Amino acid sequence: MISDITTARDAALADIAQADSPDAVAAMTTRYAGKKGELAGLKKQLGSLESIDAKKEAGAAINAAMAAIDAALERRRTAVAADAIRIQVEAERIDLTEYLGKPKRGHAHLVTQAWERLEDVFVGLGFRVAEGPEVETDWHNFEALNMPIGHPARGEWDTLFVDHVPPEGEAGTTVLRTHTSPVQIRTMLDEEPPIRIIAPGRVFRRDTPDATHMPVFHQIEGLVIDRDISMADLAGTIDAFTKAFFGKGWNSRLRPSYFPFTEPSAEFDIQRPDGSWIELGGSGMVHPNVLRAGGVDPEEWSGFAFGFGIDRMAIMRHGVADIREMFSDDLRFVEQF
Ligand code: PHE
């Protein structure tokens, strides 16, 4: 009997040593420590032993074997539980160490880059950055710019009207600004001359997108009001800007044109170092009616204004064939700039 006990104990201990999960330890507990275990079976056979001494000896051996098995099970249980925690921690671990490879960095979009560089260059020339709302009144967008209701030139700006009646206005008097020129009016009403501002921003026109048009695009406005400002100041400023922004080899010129809010008016073109010309935008001397709408006395002050498309300038500068590419979110395009 003693050898049966020893064999059963050793087999149990060997098996328990293999248990590698809480479930396996639980199964072995039932198998070796429970009432239906092998040693429990041997215990029941104690009665069949002849001598008291043999019973005592076998009983003590069974108790010692059970104690060894309980201790082994307990050790296994602790070890397996620690393992389980270690495995879980490993699985849920978050790597907070710094990435030491070469991470791929994003960059500002071409339009944003152009916008920011324009601001830098004009600020360098002494301008301040001004802003106005994208949802604008008909008055600021047209009327104050010398285009009363019914003025034929309004047709040049395909306007998106907003279905909103401001407290002081009438139906159909709220628009999405069609150009940045209303910022001229807002600035003049807000501050006293002398004024030197640029106003970059988003503008809207009821256009179907094609290679050269987008219904939403960006313009930058310039306005200078001071005493004795002349067309020569406009030409000089445009040329200084052209050289500062595009480079020393670039030139500019003014060409007679017409805008209701400037008189005289001029388109301005810039010339690449290879001699070819690019039409950039509109400009002129601020019309006396516009100065008056802005609360500025035309007898005392004069000024010039200019405006051009930021996106248009960027696509011409980089030779992009289709303006829609600018807003496609296509990384193959975006990553080139
Ligand atoms: N606002 C004009 C446009 O959208 C451009 C312009 C600005 C012309 C200022 C003259 C003076 O076409």
Q: Express each pLDDT in 194-249 by its tens digit.
A: 999 999 999 999 999 999 899 999 999 999 999 999 999 999 999 999 999 999 99
What are the residue boundaries of the structural domains of the chain, listed by start?
2-92, 110-334
User: How far is the centre of ligand 1, averaged over its atoms, from the C-alpha of 164 (Å)?
Assistant: 26
Structure confidence at residue 238 (pLDDT): 97
Q: Which atom of ligand 1 is nearest to the CA of 184?
A: 9
- pTM above threshold 0.75: no
* Distance in angstroms (rounded) separating the CA atoms of residues 233 and 286: 13
User: How far is the centre of ligand 1, averaged over its atoms, from the C-alpha of 300 (Å)?
Assistant: 24
Looking at domain 110-334, its CATH class is alpha beta
* Distance in angstroms (rounded) separating the CA atoms of residues 203 and 215: 8
Residue nearest to atom 3 of ligand 1 (CA): 179
User: How far is the centre of ligand 1, averaged over its atoms, from the C-alpha of 219 (Å)?
Assistant: 9
Structure confidence at residue 247 (pLDDT): 93
Helices (H), 104-190: 110-124, 138-141, 182-190
Closest CA to 152 of 166, 142, 164: 142
Structure confidence at residue 161 (pLDDT): 92
Structure confidence at residue 168 (pLDDT): 67
Q: Which atom of ligand 1 is nearest to the CA of 307?
A: 7
The number of CA neighbours under 13 Å toward the Cβ of 85 is 5
Regions of the chain where pLDDT drops below 70: 165-169, 171
Q: Is the previous residue joined to 200 through a cis bond, with omega within 30 degrees of 0?
A: no
Query: Ligand 1 pocket test: which of 176, 241, 258, 259 has the largest number of ligand atoms within 8 Å of its C-beta?
Result: 259
